[in-house]
A and B are shown apart, each in its own frame.
Chain A
Amino acid sequence: MTRVIKYIFYDLLRTRFILLYTLFLLVSTFAMFQIDSDPGKVVLSLLNVVLMVVPLISVVFTTIHFFNSYEFIELMLAQPVNRRVIFFSEYISVATSLCGAYVAGIGIPSLLFGADSSVFTLLFTGVMLTLVFVALAFLSSVLTRDKAKAIGIALLFWFYFSLIYDGLLLWVVYTFCDYPLEKITLTLIAFNPVDLARIIMLLQLDISALMGYTGAFYKSFFGSHMGLLFSSSILLVWIALPLWLAMRIFSRKDL
C-alpha cells in the first residue's frame, strides 16, 4: 500500500497543481495579514476562503485527478492488488496532499504573524472540509464513467452544500419562525458539513456575542466537551459515509 501511495504522490507532484494551490493560499494569507493588522479580522476573511475555495478546489482537483489516473488504476488492477488498497491509496494520497497544501498555505503565514488559538480551529475545520469534499468527489467519480459528468456531480455537491442547503435552511427558519427552532436547526446544521464548520468557527471568534440567544445556545452546546465530540464525530461521519459508499461502488464496478 505504501508503495502505491508513493507512486500516486509522485504523480501528484508532477502536475504541480498542489504546489500552485499552496502558493495561492500562501500569497492570499500573506496579503490579508499585510492589509489588516488585526489577526481576528484576518481569520474572519480566511473563513470565507475556507468555506468557499477549499471545498471547490478539493472537489474539482480530486475528480480531475481520478479520471487522469484512470489508466494507472486499470494498470494497477491488472496486478495482484486488492481494489480496496488501490482505492484507499488514492484517497489517502490526494487527501493528504491537499491537506498539506492547506495547512502550509494558511498555517505558515498565521504562525509568522502571530495568531491566536482561533487559527488552530480554522486549520482543523479546513482539513476536515478537505477530507469531506475529497470523499464526496471520489463518490461522484465512481458514480459515472464520463469525466464531464463526474465533475458536474462533484460541482453539484459543492453548490448544494455551499448555497442551496442554506437557502432551504432559511426557508425552514422563515416558515417556522414562531416556534423555538434552536434544537431543530442544530440538527439540520449537522446535515451540512460547510455549515457545521462555519458555526464551529464563528463561535470561536468573539463576534459570537452578536448572535444573540441562538448564538448563546450554540455556544453552550459547542463549547462543551459533548458538543466538541458531537461536531467532530459528525464531520467524521461526513468523511466516512461517502468514502464507504464510493469504495463499495468501486470494488464492484466494471471498469
Chain B
Amino acid sequence: MKSILIISGILLFASLNTMAASITIGPHQPIRSIRAGIATAAAGDTLWIEAGTYREGNMVLDKSLVLLGKGFPVLDGENKFEILTIKANGVVIKGLKFINTGVASMNDLAAVKAIGCANLRITDNRFENTFFGIYFANTSQSWIEGNQLQADAEAEHQIGNGIHMWKCSHITVNGNTIKGHRDGIYFEFVTNSLITRNHSEGNLRYGLHFMFSHNDEYRNNTFVNNGAGVAVMYSKGVKMIENVFEYNWGSAAYGLLLKDIRDSFVSSNTFRKNSVGIFMEGSSRIQFQENTFMNNGYAVRLQASCDDNVFERNNFLANTFDVVTNGTLVLNKINSNYWDKYEGYDLNKDSTGDIPYRPVSLYGMMVEQMPTAVLLWRSFLVYLMDRTEKAIPAITPENLKDELPSMRPYDIISQRQ
C-alpha cells in the first residue's frame, strides 16, 4: 500500500513537472516584456529572460514562477520604481541584473521585495545602484545565495540596506558580496537563520546589523572596512564562528559590537586592524574561544555591565590595548589566553606562565575614565606609570587577570593561511 502511494506520488510529481511550461522572453521573441510573460504564465512555469534591457517599472510576481536570466538581462528601475515585488511562495529568481531602483524616504523601495512569502530562492543575481537590494518581510524557508550587490552612495540617508530581513525565519544567506550599502546585511526579528560565506565591504554603517534576532548562526563571513563594523544587539543564542573582521578603522568603528547579547558563542574569528576588536556592553554568558585579535587598537572593550562571559584560548597579538574596562567590578573569566605582552616565565615547563597576566593597563583605565588623558599617549610618563602599575597593581582591577596565560600562541586551524 505504502509503495503504491509513493509510486503514484512520483508519477503525479512527474506529470506536474511536464505540465509546467517554459516561456522565453526577449527582444526577438514573441513575448518581449517580462510583464507580459508574467501575465501569460501559470503557476509553476519557467520564464527564460534573454539578454537585453527591460524598463517596465514595478512588476508584481503573484504566482509561483521561476525567473531565469540568460547572460544577465538588465531590469532597470529608471531611478523611480521598485523592480520586483514577490507575493507568492516558491519563486525562484536567478541570473538577473537589477539596476537603478528608485530612492524614497517613505517607502523602502527594493530591487527584489518579498512580503509574507515562503520557499523563495534568490540566487546568482547582480544588483547595481539599488536603494534596498533584497528585502524580505515576514518570509520564511528561503535562500539568498551568490548575489553581488554594489552601490556607491555617499551618505547614509541616500541608501538602504543590501540584504534586509525583517521578521523572517529559516533564511539562508550564503556567498553574497555586498558593497557600498548602508548596512550590508540587516536582520531584525529574524530567527533560526544562517549567514555563511558572505563578503561585506565598504558599507556606510554596519557590515552586518543584527537586532532582536535569536538563535542565528553566522560563519565564514568577511567584514572589511565598514563604517562601524558589525553590530549584534538585543539577541540571544547567536553563534559567530570563523568570521573575519578587518580594517574597521575610525573613532566610532568596531570590529564587533555586542550589546545586550546573551547565551552566545563567539569562536575562531579573526579580528585584524580594527580600532576596537570587540566592544561589549550589557552582555552575559558568551563564550569567546580561539579567536585571534591582531593589530587592533583595543582588542576587547569589556564594559563593567557584562557578566559571566568567558574568554578562553584566544590569541592577543600586537594590539595597542589588550583589554579595557570602565569599572573595578569584574564578573567575567579570562583564562588560558595567549598574550604577546606577557613577560612572565614558566619554570615547571607546563607551557602556562607561572605568574598571572593583567591585560588591563593603568593608562587604559585612565583613558576610559577621563578621555582627555589620551593626549599623554606614548609619552615617557605613561610608560613609567604602566611599568610601576604592572609591578604593584593599585588602580587596575585586582581580579581581572589571566591566571594561566599560555606561553605560546594557539595554533588555530581555521586561521592558518
- CB contact under 8 A between A174 and B320, given known A209-B250, A212-B251, A218-B375: no
Are A52 and B375 in contact, with the CB atoms below 8 A? no
In the assembly, what is the distance between CA of A199 and CA of B376, in Å? 9
In the assembly, what is the distance between CA of A238 and CA of B145, in Å? 63
- CB contact under 8 A between A207 and B375, given known A52-B380, A170-B381: no
Verify if A210 is at the interface (C-beta below 8 Å from B).
yes
A139 contact set on B, CB distance < 8 A: none
Are B372 and A210 in contact, with the CB atoms below 8 A? no
Among A52, A167, A209, residue most surrounded by chain B Cβ atoms (within 10 Å): A209
Verify if B42 is at the interface (C-beta below 8 Å from A).
no
Out of B249, B367, B380, B381, which one reaches A206, CB within 8 Å?
B249
Are A169 and B376 in contact, with the CB atoms below 8 A? yes
Within the complex, what minimum Cβ distance (angstroms) separates A196 from chain B?
Answer: 11
Verify if B30 is at the interface (C-beta below 8 Å from A).
no
Out of B297, B379, B381, which one reaches A210, CB within 8 Å?
B297
The closest CB in chain A to the CB of B318 belongs to: A41
Are A211 and B376 in contact, with the CB atoms below 8 A? no
Among A52, A170, A174, A195, residue most surrounded by chain B Cβ atoms (within 10 Å): A170
A51 contact set on B, CB distance < 8 A: 378-380
Chain B stretch 284-309: residues in CB contact (< 8 A) with chain A: 297-298
Are A215 and B374 in contact, with the CB atoms below 8 A? yes
Verify if A185 is at the interface (C-beta below 8 Å from B).
yes
A206 contact set on B, CB distance < 8 A: 249
Are B320 and A189 in contact, with the CB atoms below 8 A? no
Are B375 and A210 in contact, with the CB atoms below 8 A? no
Verify if B373 is at the interface (C-beta below 8 Å from A).
yes
Interface footprint category on B: 20 to 34
Instruction: Report A47-66 CB contacts with B as 1/0, cut-off 8 Å.
Output: 11001100000000000000
Among B275, B369, B371, residue most surrounded by chain A Cβ atoms (within 10 Å): B371
Verify if B16 is at the interface (C-beta below 8 Å from A).
no
A170 contact set on B, CB distance < 8 A: 373, 376, 381
B367 contact set on A, CB distance < 8 A: 212
Within the complex, what minimum Cβ distance (angstroms) separates A255 from chain B?
Answer: 36
Within the complex, what minimum Cβ distance (angstroms) separates B162 from chain A?
Answer: 25
In the assembly, what is the distance between CA of A170 and CA of B367, in Å? 11
Are A162 and B372 in contact, with the CB atoms below 8 A? no
Within the complex, what minimum Cβ distance (angstroms) separates A44 from chain B?
Answer: 8
The closest CB in chain A to the CB of B370 belongs to: A177
The closest CB in chain B to the CB of A162 belongs to: B380
Chain A stretch 134-178: residues in CB contact (< 8 A) with chain B: 162-163, 166-167, 169-170, 173-174, 177
Are B374 and A198 in contact, with the CB atoms below 8 A? no
Are B380 and A173 in contact, with the CB atoms below 8 A? no
In the assembly, what is the distance between CA of A44 and CA of B297, in Å? 14
Out of A166, A210, A214, A216, which one reaches B298, CB within 8 Å?
A210
The closest CB in chain B to the CB of A166 belongs to: B381
In the assembly, what is the distance between CA of A18 and CA of B343, in Å? 37
Instruction: Report B241-252 CB contacts with A as 1/0, cut-off 8 Å.
Output: 000000001110
Are A163 and B381 in contact, with the CB atoms below 8 A? yes
Pick 17 A–B contacts, CB within 8 A, sort by A: A51-B380, A52-B380, A162-B379, A163-B384, A169-B376, A173-B375, A177-B372, A181-B372, A185-B372, A199-B375, A207-B297, A210-B374, A211-B374, A212-B367, A213-B371, A214-B374, A218-B375
Chain B residues with CB under 8 Å of chain A are 249-251, 253, 275, 297-298, 320, 367, 369-382, 384
Given A163-B380, A173-B373, 17 additional A-B pairs, CB 8 A: A48-B378, A51-B378, A51-B380, A52-B380, A169-B375, A173-B375, A177-B369, A177-B370, A198-B379, A202-B378, A209-B249, A210-B297, A210-B320, A212-B251, A212-B374, A214-B372, A216-B251
